[in-house]
Amino acid sequence: MSFNNIVGNENVKAFLDKTISENHILHSYLFSGIDGIGKTIFAREFARKLLCLEKEEEENCLSCQKYHNHNHPDFYEIKPENNSIKIEQIRQMQEKILEKPITSKRKVYIIIDSDTMTKEAQNCLLKTLEEPPEYATIILTTANESKLLNTIKSRCMKVSFEPIEKIKIEEYLKNQMQIELKEELISKSEGSIDKAIKLQEEKEIYEKVDELIEKIGKQDKIAALKQAKILYEQKEKILEILEYMNVVLYHTKEKEKWNCIQYVEQTKKRLLASSNYDMCIDYLIMNMWEEINEKYSRRSI
Ligand SMILES: [Zn+2]
């Protein structure tokens, strides 16, 4: 594998390759960009290259072999456990990072979804970012940069990831996964391959959501609530579905439907505050129905 096998973000590829070829390696990087555009894949490939002992001779390289066998002693990944990265995980890392590398000349840590670190964990990590061992490189990935402390961000070199061009997503899905995605779904993927794949898998759900939004202005309240059945059924996925609704509502370019985005946002908050699930959805549909149908009632006056 090399960066060339990863789709999109050519600038990032060039930058990371240059970093390695000129040996300008820093102690901390922040890979920032929306979910599903390959930040973690880039981080892993960058890590492999940083650890490599032979410069691209992957087969003869002890480090690359260990890396690919998932038993490299100088490589670690830290991920959220139950949705957050806890201070204990960072403390463990801090103890480990002080031990010198074994196989490679460097040690690399990737902190995936670093914005899920608790405040305590972030403050704790700060100590390592301020005084990292000279052989250590820490790569943080995030899709929500605003949730990271400024003091953390200021100590990392930021690498920005751009959404992937539609044509590249289309090619990738077709060639690598034998998936032919409708143009419309590719537009809704917002430049994220993961999202495009998910959209395909969940096409049926999302088609029902499309239908709900399309028909809500053309039915009475009871029919609208019936049409919203999919929302009542998909409790597990509801936050993703609501995000998707926002995208669809936004793309309609109709004022009344744009106004509905506020109700979707309200619903997200209510659900996160663990209000009664069915009631939250009832409110959402009623509010949307009223917002959209006001247009028609005004018209009929
Ligand atoms: Zn190697």
Q: pLDDT tens digits, the chain, 301 residues: what are they? A: 566 667 788 899 999 999 999 999 999 999 999 888 889 999 999 999 999 998 766 678 999 999 999 999 999 999 999 999 999 999 999 999 999 999 999 999 999 999 999 999 999 999 999 999 999 999 999 999 999 999 999 999 999 998 888 888 888 888 887 878 777 778 878 888 888 888 887 888 888 999 999 998 888 888 999 989 999 999 988 998 999 999 999 888 888 899 999 999 999 999 988 789 999 999 999 999 999 887 656 554 4
Residues 110-140: pLDDT tens digits? 999 999 999 999 999 999 999 999 999 999 9
**Span from the CA of 20 to the centroid of ligand 1 (angstroms):** 13
What integer pLDDT is reported at residue 297 of this predicted model? Answer: 60
**Span from the CA of 47 to the centroid of ligand 1 (angstroms):** 11
- CA separation for the pair 145, 114 (Å, rounded): 9
**Span from the CA of 6 to the centroid of ligand 1 (angstroms):** 18
What sections of 25-118 are H helices per DSSP?
39-51, 62-68, 87-97
**Span from the CA of 64 to the centroid of ligand 1 (angstroms):** 4
Q: Assess contact for 166 and 187: CB atoms under 8 A.
A: yes
Question: At 242, which helix (H) or strand (E)?
Answer: helix 238-252
- CA separation for the pair 62, 43 (Å, rounded): 20
What integer pLDDT is reported at residue 301 of this predicted model? Answer: 43
Nearest to 29 by CA among 131, 117, 152, 149: 152
Q: How far apart are the first and last CA of the chain?
A: 65
Largest CA distance in the chain: 79
- CA separation for the pair 96, 132 (Å, rounded): 12
Q: Assess contact for 157 and 29: CB atoms under 8 A.
A: yes
